[in-house]
Every structure is written in C-alpha cells, then in structure tokens.
Amino acid sequence: MAVLTVKSVESAKADLGKRREVPDGALPGFYLVVQPAGGKSWAVRYRVDGKPKKLTLGAYPRLPLIEAREAARTALRAVAEGRDPAGEKQAAKGEPSAADAMRFGAVAADYVERYAKPRNRSWRETEAFLTRTLDATDKWQDRDVRSIGRKEVLNALDAVIGRGASIHANRLFAALRRFFAWTVERGILEASPMAGLKPPSPEVSRDRVLTDPELVAAWKAAAQVGYPFGPVVQLLILTGQRRSEVLEAEWREFDLDTATWTIPRTRAKNDRAHVVPLAPGAVEILRQLPRIGQRPRLLFTTTGETAFSGVSKATDRLQAIAGSLLPDGVESTAWRLHDLRRTFASGCARLGVPVHVVEKALNHTSGTHSGIVGVYQRHEYGEERRRAMELWAAHCDGLISGSAKVVRMERRAS
C-alpha cells in the first residue's frame, strides 16, 4: 500500500468511470476519494461498536494533503478514545446521526410528512397507528427500523388482538403494510417484513342500526355528557355526517342564517366539498355552543387550538349512560359512532327519502352516483336534501318527546 504524496494525489483517477478510494499507506483508515467526474476529497473510515463509519474531512485541493492527514489523525485518536467523530460532526450541525435517522420513530415521522399527509386526510390516524399503538409501535420508536422483522410485527398484532380490538389490529396491519412498502421504495429496507402476511382478523361489513329506544337513549345521554362531546353526538344523529367532519368542524364553515354547513374538500373524505342543509334543531344546537379562544376557530375544543380528541373514553361513558336510560326490557349491544350515520340513512329510507337523495346527503360517491352516472349526474338535490334533513330531525324530536309520527317524504311527479 503506497503512501499518498502530492504527486500521487494529483494523478489519481477513478477506475473506469467508477468512484475510487485510495488508501494511505502512512495512516490506516485515511483515504483519498476520487469521483468519476474527477472531484477529489478526503475521508476517514473506522468502526464504532462493530459498525463501519465514515467521516468526510473536506475537498482537495482546498484541504491539502498534509492538513488532511493531520485531521485524519485527530479523528482516529477520537475513535481510540471511544468517540464517534462523524456523529459529533453531525450533532454540531444540528443534524441527526445516521443511527438516529434510522430509528423507527424518525422514519415513521418522515413517512407521515412525505407520504401520508399529502395523500390521506386521515393522516393523523396513520400517525397514531405508527407511534402510539399500545404494546406495539409505541415500543418501537427508538429501535432501528431495520430490526423490525416479521416476528415483531406478529407480536404487535397479537398484542392488539389480545385486548379484544381485532378491527383495530386490521387497521394497524394496513398502516404498517403501507409504511414498510414505502421504506422499500425509498431504499431504506431491502424487503418488507409484511411480505406474505395476511390481515389478522376477518372483517364482516357492519349493518348495526340503532333502534328507536337506543337512539333516544343516545340523545339523552349526549345531553348529560355535555360539551364538547355531547353536541358532537347530537349533530352526528341529526346530520348523518362523518365523525371526523363533525369533530374537526370550524366556525367559518357555517352560515346559521341560511342554515347551511359547507364542508370543504380539504376535510371531506371523498375530496369533494359538501353542503349540508341544517334542520332547525341542528341550528339551535350550534347557536348554543360556546366559542372558545380569542379568535374562535373550532366548534369542539377544550384548548381553542386543537379539536377534542378524547373520543374513546367519551364514547364509553356515553354508552354507559345510554344503557342506563333504556326502558325496562329493552336490550342493547355495543354500537359505534359510525353506526349513527347508518342509522340516519336507514331512518331516512323509512321516511320515504329516495336512496339517491340519501346518498347525496351523506356525500357518498358510490351506489347510485358511481361510475358513469357520477360523471354526468351533477344535480345536487338541494331542496330534497333539506326536506330529508328536516323530516329526519322532526322524527327524532318526536321520538325524544314521545309523540313520534311517521311523516313520509312526498315524491314529486316526474
């Protein structure tokens, strides 16, 4: 191994257009790096905890051979003392070390920022799956992402299923599958630990619809729970809109004088702005809401800055209260907030609201408005949707007051 000299450095060339590293015979670990285009720089190679490391010292000729060799000696002395000069250099610049950059938590945060946020309006849910899933991803945050294998994934899914949350386990599975596929695309991993795995639990399409006594109990329980979660549930019942659309609603979306709520496309699940006609009962609920913060933005918040997020605990409390309010002899099984949306659709159908009007009210793009029909059928059924909302709200009011009468929607002659 030849000792590097000024002459040999000047004459050094890349190997057949490929990057070349020329070792220095006088100082093991010190290299001249020659790029295919002719550029030259200095580097030191060493190991920390058995792992190879590289420290770039600077470019030649700005950093001459003598000074580069002395800088290399200084770096290698630091290595002998048990330090990592490359890591120290990155820390001085405020940059994450290579080890930090490969932490599962860091890679997951990068994935959320680069991939999930621009493509998925429910990116916060994805973020939660990748960072806060109990006994699963919450324990992976400081681990090297390359150390998460099939065994770790299966253990995480088993832990979630063990808590009786089989559907949650399926959602975690889907989030991890997308995440690890992205790491392979980015060259972070060679292969995904999800390859060949199947969702941990079978899923059956839900058809849970609340009975009239359950709906009344849910409404009265919401009144007892109070702000912020109680009015959320009542608006879910009256409007049939999605949970996130109600929870994250902003004051600027409402015109109470015209009784309309415009959900912008940035918050609508199907990427289409949606105008929701509001029944008088819904307007009254909105007028009674407190406005929190110096410049109120969110309808349902305890801080004025972020939307109410304690949904799981609040739902458990709501259902416990609702169960105690059911009439004697009436039994009820667990239900979800999304079941209120299905109850709205089913209830409107009972009142004679045509299915295409119900779908427009729910901002669905499937069913009667999918495919070619969705392209050419642009009628929004605004009057019909308002009438449907008012019919449903009046029906709910009748159920709650005990004077319900089924008033069906009149069909116009074609």
Average pLDDT over residues 186-204: 86
* CA nearest to 236, candidates 362, 137, 101, 121: 362
Pick among 3.40.50.1470, 3.30.110.60, 3.40.640.10, 3.30.160.390: CATH of 6-95: 3.30.160.390
CA distances (Å), origin 379, targets 24, 257, 311, 364: 77, 24, 36, 14
Phi, psi of 318 (to 5 degrees): -60, -45
Q: Is residue 11 pLDDT above 80, yes or no?
A: yes
Q: Is residue 93 pLDDT above 90, yes or no?
A: no
Q: Can you give the pLDDT at residue 366?
A: 54
Q: Is residue 259 pLDDT above 60, yes or no?
A: yes
142: which 2 tokens?
Answer: 């400081």
Rounded Cα distance, 181 and 184, in Å: 5
pLDDT digit string (tens) for 322-375? 999 999 888 888 898 999 999 999 999 999 999 999 999 998 765 444 443 343
Strand (E) or helix (H) holding 78: helix 65-80
Q: Can you give the pLDDT at residue 121?
A: 66
Phi, psi of 99 (to 5 degrees): -65, -45
Rounded Cα distance, 70 and 57, in Å: 10
SS3 of residue 352 by DSSP: coil
Mention every residue, 6+ apart, whose C-beta is less than 8 A from residue 161. Answer: 169, 200, 201
Q: Can you give the pLDDT at residue 408?
A: 60
Q: What confidence category does residue 379 fall into, taking pLDDT thresholds of 50, 70 and 90?
A: low
Ramachandran bin of 135, using left for φ above 0, alpha for ψ from -120 to 50, beta for the remaining angles: left
pLDDT digit string (tens) for 198-243? 998 876 667 899 999 999 999 999 999 999 999 999 999 999 999 9
Q: Can you give the pLDDT at residue 119?
A: 76
260: which 2 tokens?
Answer: 């309309």
* CA nearest to 111, candidates 181, 172, 162, 54: 181
Which of 66-70, 204-208, 302-306 has the lowest average pLDDT? 204-208
Q: What is the topology classification, in CATH, of domain 212-401? A: hpI Integrase; Chain A (1.10.443)
Q: Can you give the pLDDT at residue 257?
A: 96
Q: Can you give the pLDDT at residue 204?
A: 62
Rounded Cα distance, 126 and 70, in Å: 49
Preceding peptide of 228 cis, ω within 30°: yes
Single pTM value for the model: 0.56
DSSP characters over 297-315: -BSS-SSSSS----HHHHH
Alpha carbon distance, N-terminus to C-terminus of the chain: 94
390: which 2 tokens?
Answer: 């008012």
Q: What is the mean pLDDT of the chain?
A: 87
Rounded Cα distance, 328 and 83, in Å: 73
Higher pLDDT, 168 or 29: 29
Which of 95-99, 138-142, 155-159 has the lowest average pLDDT? 95-99
